[in-house]
Amino acid sequence: QKSLDILKKLGLEDTLDYATLFRNLGYLEKTLSNYDLAKGYYQKSLAIYEKLGLKKTDKYLKILIILGDLDYELSKYQSASNYYNQADKLSKELGLTETNKYAILLSNLGLVYQLLSKYDIARDYYQKSLDILKKLGLEDTLDYATLFRNLGYLEKTLSNYDLAKGYYQKSL
């Protein structure tokens, strides 16, 4: 807080240093499971990036994903999907779609859509995530297994028990 006060007195509120301090405070509050406080700090950091014209950067992308994660933790699934969709769009613009991080983003989108009962959309995102992980040779990872577990749960929710069983077995 002292650093924020000093930068404010110096008139340096709209700087990357100020945005970084907000990100660091957000990280700290997230670590302490103070998700509402963390969200406020990350939103302030995001606003500075926007004011500085830095919306098409990796750090801006990371903040969008973190805000989606925080809303997921707060059970604000529609808001989480909004942040994740913005991150999806930016990932495509930045050419960052062939990465494990992008596959996880798509998996998170699948999860929030599943929680919003938009099962077909969820299934599509899970499949896209699986395809990326497979293309990257990451079939023997926890992320890959988790996607099959999520697909199993989705199909169980829809009373497709045979499909669910198959996905659960693939997750082992």
The string of pLDDT tens digits covering residues 140-164 is 999 999 999 999 999 999 999 999 9
More confident residue, 69 or 9: 69
Contacts for 144 with CB less than 8 Å, ≥ 6 apart = 130, 133, 134, 138
Q: What is the pTM of this model?
A: 0.92
Mean pLDDT along residues 31-49 = 97
Minimal CA–CA distance to 116: which of 76, 155, 68, 143?
76
pLDDT, one tens digit per residue, over 90-131 is: 999 999 999 999 999 999 999 999 999 999 999 999 999 999
- Tell me if 143 sits within 8 A of 124, measured CB to CB: no
Task: Note whether 71 and 115 are within 8 A (CB).
Answer: no
For residue 77, give every residue at least 6 positions away whose Cβ sits within 8 Å of its Cβ, in sequence order, or none.
Answer: 71, 112, 115, 116
Q: SS3 breakdown of the chain: % helix, strand, coil, rounded to 5?
A: 80, 0, 20
pLDDT in the model for residue 35: 98
pLDDT value at position 15? 85
